[in-house]
């Protein structure tokens, strides 16, 4: 039954892959009723009073620098639009230009038990991970270890993609490499641990039908190749590279690569669902996400990361400019995308970031470079639509 629900989700455009793809920005009708979920208590007092609460669910202390009136408006917007998201529960994180932060929750952490969602819940953030992988690639460009025009064959032997399948095209999804999550057969293998090369080999059973550089074709497979290239140049595992180069130095070490390293807080992700009711978190092998979508964590660090990437010193200004410049192919496809970065709009304003979906979860992280604002929305359902909540939150921040 679960596979049928997932296949249906992929077929109807609500979730075009288990990690992410173009359909999240072109989200389903925000007026969708979604599953019959009533909003659970959203106040800290109600959560603290819940007898089922454990340290992993305890709400974080409020930021005294965040305006109380604005926090109340944001919570009201979240409460009002959670049902339209079509997920049991939603958590939102907001960061203002002065660094003040707010996190709010609504709905349920578990649609079967009725456990309320809390702002501290951990989520699989899916393809938001691609911003980390892309940043690592750019750091090595800056160090002179490679150029964006280098062919992937130079770093990942054994495939013979040819000179036109370059690092830049893999980052931008213009390499013409088949996306493994477009083969619904991967759902049948979702509990089977795989090596990165296993998953690349699985993808290469198919031809994309596109020549390198011909068109935008979202490909999680390409980010597996990039992950292997990083492992080759650093001679160590990808999760270790991410932690040492990004998570620890930039203050986002509450995130982790699930199943490759322990949770820093010993807390597991919140329960994931599909279609509002079926648990899918347990048993899913995160080897099917890895460098394309394997990070997990609470919403708090995500805006810290977005600010560091788009307004800080994760990469140089020149690298950042390259990352946020949409390719002509992506513009032609109606999905403006640079090098590991979606370039889109929220609340009528240009924003930078990424959408993300993986088994049981769907969300997004976007940063407004003009005003220094950041919003992340995470849901615990693979078929959810974060857009109604995201647009409501951005509207409050006008």
Judged against a pLDDT cut of 90, whether residue 331 lies above it is answered with yes
Q: Write the DSSP string, 55-103.
A: TTTPPPPP-TTS-HHHHHHHHHHHHHHHHHHTSSEEEEEEE-TTS-EEE
Average pLDDT score over residue span 54-66: 88
pLDDT digit string (tens) for 226-253? Answer: 999 999 999 999 999 999 999 999 999 9
Domain 2-129+238-396, what fold?
Beta-lactamase (3.40.710)
Q: Hey, how many other C-beta atoms are within 10 angstroms of the C-beta on 189?
A: 16
- The phi, psi pair for 244, rounded to 5°, reads -70, -35
So what's the pLDDT on residue 29?
A: 36
- The phi, psi pair for 245, rounded to 5°, reads -95, -30
So what's the pLDDT on residue 266?
A: 87
Are the CB atoms for 91 and 117 separated by under 8 Å?
A: yes
Least confident range of 7-16, 94-103, 357-366: 7-16
Least confident range of 25-39, 125-139, 169-183, 184-198: 25-39
Banded pLDDT at 356 (limits 50, 70, 90):
very high
Q: What angle do CA 360, 286, 18 make, to 5 degrees?
A: 45
What burial letters (b/e) apply to 44-66, b meaning 16+ CB within 10 Å?
beebeeeeeeeebbebeeebeeb
Residue from 295, 296, 270 nearest 90 by CA: 270
In the predicted model, what is the mean pLDDT of the chain?
88
Judged against a pLDDT cut of 90, whether residue 165 lies above it is answered with yes
Judged against a pLDDT cut of 50, whether residue 26 lies above it is answered with no
Q: In this structure, what token pair is assigned to residue 194?
A: 């795989």
Percent helix, percent strand, percent coil in the chain, to nearest 5: 35, 15, 50
Q: In this structure, what token pair is assigned to residue 1?
A: 């039954």
pLDDT digit string (tens) for 246-259? Answer: 999 999 999 999 99
pLDDT digit string (tens) for 284-303? Answer: 899 999 999 999 999 999 99
Least confident range of 11-15, 136-140, 160-164: 11-15
User: Between helices 129-142 and 300-311, what is the axis angle to 10°?
Assistant: 30
Give percent of the chain above pLDDT 90: 77
Phi-psi region at 294: left, alpha or beta (left = phi > 0; alpha = psi -120 to 50): alpha
So what's the pLDDT on residue 279?
A: 65
């Amino acid at each position: 039954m679960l596979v049928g629900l997932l296949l249906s989700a992929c077929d109807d455009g609500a979730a075009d892959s288990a990690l992410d793809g173009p359909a999240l920005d072109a989200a389903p009708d925000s007026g969708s009723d979604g599953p019959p979920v009533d909003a659970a208590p959203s106040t800290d007092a109600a959560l603290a009073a819940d007898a089922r609460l454990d340290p992993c669910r305890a709400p974080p202390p409020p930021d005294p620098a965040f305006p109380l009136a604005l926090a109340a408006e944001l919570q009201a917007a979240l409460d009002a639009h959670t049902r339209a998201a079509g997920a049991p529960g939603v958590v939102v994180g907001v960061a203002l230009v002065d660094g003040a932060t707010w996190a709010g929750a609504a709905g349920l952490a578990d649609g079967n038990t009725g456990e309320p969602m809390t702002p501290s819940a951990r989520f699989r953030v899916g393809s938001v991970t691609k911003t980390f992988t892309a940043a690592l690639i750019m750091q090595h460009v800056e160090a002179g270890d490679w150029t964006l025009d280098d062919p992937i064959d130079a770093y990942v032997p054994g495939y013979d993609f040819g000179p036109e399948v370059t690092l830049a095209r893999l980052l931008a999804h213009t390499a013409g490499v088949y996306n493994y999550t477009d083969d619904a057969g991967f759902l049948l293998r979702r509990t089977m641990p795989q090596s990165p090369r296993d998953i690349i080999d699985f993808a290469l059973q198919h031809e994309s039908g596109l020549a390198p550089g011909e068109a935008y074709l979202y490909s999680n497979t390409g980010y597996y190749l990039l992950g292997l290239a990083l492992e080759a140049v650093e001679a160590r595992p990808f999760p270790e590279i991410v932690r040492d180069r990004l998570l620890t130095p930039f203050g986002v070490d509450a995130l982790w690569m699930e199943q490759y390293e322990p949770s820093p807080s010993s807390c597991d992700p919140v329960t994931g669902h599909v279609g509002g009711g079926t648990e899918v978190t347990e048993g899913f092998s995160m080897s099917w996400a890895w460098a394309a979508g394997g990070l997990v964590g609470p919403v708090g660090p995500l805006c810290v990361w977005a600010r560091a990437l788009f307004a800080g010193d994760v990469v140089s200004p020149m690298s950042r400019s390259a990352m946020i410049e949409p390719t002509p192919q992506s513009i032609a496809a109606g999905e403006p995308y640079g090098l590991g970065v979606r370039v889109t709009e929220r609340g009528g304003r240009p924003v930078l970031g990424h959408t993300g979906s993986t088994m049981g979860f769907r969300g997004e992280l976007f940063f407004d470079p003009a005003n220094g604002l950041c919003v992340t929305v995470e849901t615990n359902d693979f078929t959810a639509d974060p857009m109604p909540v995201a647009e409501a939150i951005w509207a409050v921040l006008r």
